[in-house]
Amino acid sequence: MQSGGEQRGGGRWGIERSTLIALAAGGAVAAAGVLGQLAQLTPGAVYGISLVGGVVAVAAVWTAHRRRRAATARLERSARRILSAGLAQVQIDEGEPVAAGAGELAPVQAAMAQLADRLSWEGRELAKKTRNLEALIAAMDEPLLATDNDRRVLLCNRSAEAVFDAAPGELVGRPINQVFTHAELLSMHDAAGAGEIRRGRVRLTTSLGKRVYQVSASPVPAAWGEGVFGAVMVLRDVTELDQAVQVKTDFVANASHELRTPVAAIRTAAETLPNAIGDDPEMAARVANMIVNHAGRLEELLRDLLDLSRLESPDVPPAIETVEVGELPRLLGAMFEGVCRERDITLEFDFDEELAGMRTDRKLLMLILRNLVENATKFAFEGTQVRSASRGVARFEVADRGIGIPIGQQDRVFERFYQVDPARTGSAGGKRGTGLGLAIVKHAAKALGGRVGLKSVWGQGTTVWVEVEVGFAAESSAEARKTG
């Protein structure tokens, strides 16, 4: 009985083994008959020769058949591996040389080997490009989302997962309308899925807070044929840029207002003064005093604008030097002696002795303290005390007992030109500020590597604090190590 493998082998060539033997034997008999006629051999000799020739022919045919079967099996295994093992891992079976083992199948086996090499190379190139693309997407600071034609997330980067407060891989597979519900974003996504390119600016509340994003939504063409497969959305955070534009707009509007008011008052007073000098000396004195006051306000405003401009310039680094902290109370006291006497306000200083020998930018530190004390003397109630103190080695506080700041406005008082009094009528003492003092304090503290904040109760008073990074003189540090 023939084995299954032998039957499959014979079937592959379309000829059974018995048929091959019969053909070989018939050929051998015919050949022997011809030889017998030519050589006039005896029938027995002819039969012997025929039998031997038939056996030899059958052996030759069967050997060639087995070689074809082996070569075909190798080709079949190689093809299956090409289809199932992965492009980068295909490999033709090793065995006897192609020419010796495959016969007329040698060109086919050689072509298969070339195909395998080509597919293996292309597989490695494809894997390299895929890794590069994944690394590029992962390295992007901008959140990126790609969806398929079922509006489900195909891929995203870590920035997108951070914005939408998702764990790694959590967004993949989710419908896009479950990732975000902003109507404008969904509209842009659907338009991109329909083949349009959309760009726009949207405001989102994310895990990072309220942010402004410049969104770009583009269609993804189908890999084969025409049509659109999905959409790609890239969200670029432009919150700081948007805030800078808004700050610039507000600054121009507020600066124009602040400058226009004293200029208009001075012009009006100047026009009134010539007539008042001869007719109403008392009025002339009031008008002259108005000119002096508004001229002083203009000087104050220009001073604050110049201070703020210098602080915002990256080309002016802090000048670190040793600061004699003991001199600061004397300088600040002399600076505000007039207003304190006018409003019956007492200045009290309590600077920590540990600040002796501190190293920082003296001008910036004085700028901070001057603006804080100036604010306190303007908004403190008459007959009260303004206390300036330091705690630890880097924290300065200025506290007053005055009108205070409503809790809803405490986050905005460090903005340029922002004033708690919306009518701009001024402080309890009747003197208005420029609205730039606390903005200057914030920028000066930032320039010194520090931060600023406040505590306030409406109608009771305000404490503004500043923390800055400071160093100490070498001799002070050495002395501290000795005493320690």
Averaged pLDDT, 24-39: 51
pLDDT of residue 305: 79
Which of the given ranges, 76-90, 124-138, 139-153, has the highest pLDDT on average? 139-153
Tens digits of residue pLDDT in 73-101: 666 666 666 555 444 444 444 444 444 44
Domain(s) of CATH 3.30.450.20: residues in the chain: 140-237
Q: Are strands 385-391 and 451-457 parallel, antiparallel or unpaired?
A: unpaired
Q: What is the mean pLDDT of residues 342-355?
A: 84
Provide long-range contacts, Cβ within 8 A and 24+ apart, for 299-307: 300/434, 301/258, 301/259, 301/262, 301/434, 301/436, 304/434, 304/436, 304/437, 304/440, 305/255, 305/436, 307/367, 307/436, 307/440
Q: How far apart (Å, rounded) are the C-alpha atoms in residues 66 and 8?
A: 12
Q: What is the pLDDT of residue 218?
A: 92
Asked whether 363 and 331 are in contact (CB, 8 A), the reply is no
Q: What is the CATH number of domain 241-315?
A: 1.10.287.130
- Among residues 79, 62, 66, the alpha carbon closest in space to that of 20 is found at 62
Q: For 216-245, what is each residue's pLDDT tens digit?
A: 999 988 877 777 888 999 999 998 888 777
pLDDT digits (tens, 9 = 90+) for 361-410: 888 888 888 888 988 888 888 888 888 887 766 788 898 888 888 888 88
Q: Which amino acid is at 285?
A: A
| Residue 63 to residue 100: CA distance in whole angstroms | 13
Mean pLDDT, rounded, for 133-145:
83
How many angstroms separate the CA atoms of 85 and 241, rounded? Answer: 52
187 has pLDDT over 60:
yes
What are the distances in angstroms from CA 308 to CA 92, 229, 376, 416? 75, 53, 20, 9
Amino acid at 109: Q
Taking alpha carbons only, the member of 429, 347, 431, 442 closest to residue 385 is: 347
Q: How far apart are CA 399 and CA 385, in angstroms?
A: 8
The pLDDT of residue 393: 60
Quote the pLDDT of residue 217: 92
Q: With 50 as the cut, is the pLDDT of residue 195 above it?
A: yes
> Is residue 415 a contact partner of residue 434, using CB atoms and an 8 Å limit?
no
Which DSSP string corresponds to 3-45? -HHHHHHHHHHT--HHHHHHHHHHHHHHHHHHHHHHHT--HHH
Positive or negative, the CA dihedral 47, 52, 55, 56 is negative
CA angle 101, 107, 108 (to 5 degrees): 90
pLDDT at 402: 87
Residue among 158, 82, 181 at smallest CA distance from 122: 82
Task: Considering only residues 163 and 115, tell me which one the structure prediction assigns the higher pLDDT.
Answer: 163
Rounded mean pLDDT of 345-370? 83
For the chain, residues classed under CATH 3.30.565.10 are 317-484
Q: What is the DSSP letter of 402?
A: B
Confidence of residue 46 (pLDDT cuts 50, 70, 90): very low
Per-residue pLDDT, 96: 44
CATH number of 317-484: 3.30.565.10
The predicted pLDDT at position 293 comes to 82
What's the CA gap between 27 and 251, in Å, rounded? 110
Pairing of strands 346-350, 385-391: parallel
Residue 190 buriedness (CB in 10 A; 0-12 / 13-18 / 19+): middle
Lowest average pLDDT, out of 4-13, 20-29, 151-160, goes to 4-13
Which helix or strand (DSSP H or E) is residue 212 part of?
A: strand 209-221
Name the DSSP letter for residue 342. Answer: H
Q: Which residue has the higher pLDDT, 160 or 64?
A: 160
Alpha helices in 85-182 (DSSP H): 98-102, 106-139, 158-163, 176-179
At residue 139 the predicted structure's pLDDT band, cuts being 50, 70 and 90, is confident
pLDDT recorded at residue 216: 92
Class of domain 140-237: alpha beta
Are the CB atoms for 162 and 156 separated by under 8 Å? no
One-letter amino acid at 442 equals: K
Q: Which residue has the higher pLDDT, 167 or 426?
A: 167
Higher pLDDT, 477 or 22: 22
Structure tokens at 239: 């919150």
What would the pLDDT profile of 249-289 be if each residue is shown by its tens digit? Answer: 777 777 777 788 788 888 888 888 887 777 788 888 888 88
Structure confidence at residue 37 as a pLDDT band (50, 70, 90) = low
CA nearest to 82, candidates 52, 126, 113: 113
Query: What is the pLDDT confidence band of residue 43, given thresholds at 50, 70 and 90?
Result: low
Query: In the chain, which residues fall in CATH 1.10.287.130?
Result: 241-315
- The torsion angle over the Cα atoms of residues 310, 365, 463 and 412, rounded to 10 degrees, is 10
The rounded mean pLDDT for the chain is 75
Kindly give the interhelix angle for 281-312 and 437-447, rounded to the nearest 10 degrees: 20
